[in-house]
Amino acid sequence: MVDNLESNYNCAQAGDDLHQLKQELAALRGSGREDEESQQEINRLENQIQFIRNKCDFH
């Protein structure tokens, strides 16, 4: 899991990090869990993916 994304994030790792985050997100969505904790984790993963896309110009 990618933690602590900050403004000084190194985009050299972006491809691998995005792949990992997308896999985690897909697994969590596929788990069928719909509790608040799962939703918060989904939101966190989506935010991290968006942060990397914006920071590193992935479209």
pLDDT of residue 35: 92
* Rounded Cα–Cα distance for residues 57 and 29 (Å): 26
Domain range for 44 is 15-27+34-55
* Secondary structure class of 30 (helix, strand, coil): helix
Residue 8: the pLDDT is 85
What string of pLDDT tens digits covers the 59 residues of the chain? Answer: 566 677 788 899 999 999 999 999 999 999 988 899 999 999 999 999 999 999 998 76
Q: Yes or no: say if 1 and 23 are a contact pair by the CB < 8 Å rule.
A: no
**Is residue 20 included in any domain, yes or no?**
yes
Tokens for 13? 């790792």
Q: What's the pTM?
A: 0.84
Establish if 41 belongs to a structural domain.
yes
Is residue 47 situated within a structural domain? yes
From CA 17, how far away is CA 31, in angstroms rounded? Answer: 21
Say how many domains are in the chain.
Answer: 1
Classify residue 9: in a domain, yes or no: no
- 2 in a structural domain: no
In a domain, 49, yes or no: yes
CB atoms under 10 Å from CB of 52, counted, come to: 21
Provide the pLDDT for residue 11. Answer: 92
